[in-house]
């Protein structure tokens, strides 16, 4: 069984270094939390680099990474595992969280507030000194591998009464606050990831800055770094700048025609 787990962990190792530019002391804090076996919570807007950061840290720490994209139909059994019928036998199949606990992976629960409340409860024993996972269907208590680390993320901008992280969950984690990088660093990211000239990347970042400043006029989210990279890649594939910005930035952000007109005017001003 041990050799099987080791073999499985290889499937979750990242071979190449994910590109990431540090914006503060997040790398040193994450490493310290990993060494101290403290679970980590990442807070920040959509597309600001939270997932890339976790990938980078998994590569840096040489640990397998198991990622779960949380959603409202995510049941506890989806994370823990279930019995399946195989060759006329009922066989237990570990879910992603259980696999991570056994192999000593970093388990990343992306957008944790999107998951069902009864699903988030199963992580509580993993996020304190117990570091255990209960598989009720098997009557098994798993003690986490010494290298296991639990990481969750969420977007505070989407918080509501129905979608908020309870204090009983929040206070189990070391927290890192993420935001969009400063302009020069963000342009460097967009230039490299989008494979475009720095001058164009700086203009895209300038556009994003103006869009982020008009959030109070109806936009629920500002233009993310991810969307800027998408626009850059379209531009790099010979799509005119205005069309690239409209398709990759403006249309994904809103369906409101008046806001679309405002965003198009911003594109004209900058380009």
List b or e across 84-104, with b for residues whose CB sees 16 or more CB atoms inside 10 angstroms: eeeeeeeeeebbbbbbbbbbb
> For position 158, what pLDDT does the model report?
60
> For position 161, what pLDDT does the model report?
44
DSSP per-residue letters across 131-191:
-EEEETTTTEEEEPPTT-EEEEEE-GGG--SSS---HHHHTTSEEEE--PPPHHHHHHHHH
Domain parsing of the chain, residue ranges: 2-177, 183-270
The pLDDT confidence band at residue 216, using thresholds 50, 70 and 90, is low
**Of 66-70, 127-131, 202-206, 218-222, which range is least confident?**
218-222
**Dihedral sign, Cα of residue 27, residue 113, residue 66, residue 16:** negative
- Taking 70 as the threshold, does the pLDDT of residue 1 lie above it? no
Pairwise pLDDT comparison (87 vs 211), residue with the higher score: 211
pLDDT digits (tens, 9 = 90+) for 178-208: 999 999 999 999 999 999 999 999 999 999 9
The pLDDT confidence band at residue 163, using thresholds 50, 70 and 90, is low
Provide mean pLDDT across the span 226-233. Answer: 97
- Quote the CA–CA distance of 271 and 251 in Å, as a whole number: 18
Pick the CATH number of 2-177 from 2.60.40.420, 1.10.40.30, 3.40.50.300, 3.40.50.1000: 3.40.50.300
- Quote the CA–CA distance of 142 and 97 in Å, as a whole number: 11
pLDDT digits (tens, 9 = 90+) for 75-106: 889 999 998 888 888 899 999 999 999 999 99
The pLDDT confidence band at residue 120, using thresholds 50, 70 and 90, is confident
Neighbours of 269 (CB within 10 A): 10
Q: Are strands 65-69 and 89-94 parallel, antiparallel or unpaired?
A: unpaired
Comparing CA positions, the residue from 170, 172, 208, 171 lying closest to residue 189 is 208
pLDDT digits (tens, 9 = 90+) for 2-58: 445 444 677 899 999 999 999 999 999 999 999 999 999 999 988 899 999 999 999
Q: What is the mean pLDDT of the chain?
A: 90
pTM, 2 dp: 0.88
- Taking 90 as the threshold, does the pLDDT of residue 130 lie above it? yes
- Quote the CA–CA distance of 103 and 98 in Å, as a whole number: 9
- Taking 80 as the threshold, does the pLDDT of residue 127 lie above it? yes
In the numeric block, which tokens belong to residue 181?
């990088």
> For position 6, what pLDDT does the model report?
47
Question: If 0-12 CB within 10 Å is exposed, 13-18 middle and 19+ buried, where does residue 235 land?
Answer: buried
57 by DSSP, 3-state: which?
A: helix
pLDDT digits (tens, 9 = 90+) for 45-78: 888 999 999 999 999 999 999 999 998 888 889 9
């Amino acid at each position: 069984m041990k050799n099987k787990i080791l073999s499985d962990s290889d499937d979750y190792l990242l071979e190449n270094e994910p590109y990431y530019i540090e914006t503060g002391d997040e790398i040193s804090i994450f490493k310290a939390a990993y060494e101290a076996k403290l679970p980590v919570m990442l807070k920040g807007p959509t597309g600001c680099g939270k997932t890339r950061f976790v990938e980078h840290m998994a590569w840096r720490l040489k640990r397998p990474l198991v990622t779960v994209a949380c959603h409202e139909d995510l049941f506890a059994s989806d994370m823990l595992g279930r019995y399946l019928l195989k060759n006329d036998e009922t066989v237990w199949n570990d879910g992603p969280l259980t696999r991570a606990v056994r192999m000593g992976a970093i388990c990343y629960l992306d957008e944790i507030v999107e998951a069902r409340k009864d699903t988030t409860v199963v992580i509580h024993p993993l996020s304190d000194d117990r570091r255990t996972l209960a598989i009720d269907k098997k009557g098994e208590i798993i003690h986490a591998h010494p290298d296991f680390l639990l990481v969750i993320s969420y977007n505070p901008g989407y918080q509501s009464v129905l979608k908020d992280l309870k204090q009983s969950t929040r206070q189990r984690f070391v927290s890192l606050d993420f935001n969009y990088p400063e302009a020069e660093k963000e342009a460097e990211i967009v230039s490299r990831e989008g494979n475009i000239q720095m001058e164009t990347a700086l203009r895209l970042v300038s556009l994003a800055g103006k869009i982020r400043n008009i959030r109070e006029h109806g936009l629920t989210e500002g233009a993310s770094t991810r969307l800027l990279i998408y626009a850059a890649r379209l531009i790099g594939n010979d799509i005119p700048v205005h069309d690239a910005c409209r398709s990759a930035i403006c249309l994904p952000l809103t369906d409101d025609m008046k806001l679309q007109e405002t965003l198009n005017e911003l594109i004209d001003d900058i380009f």
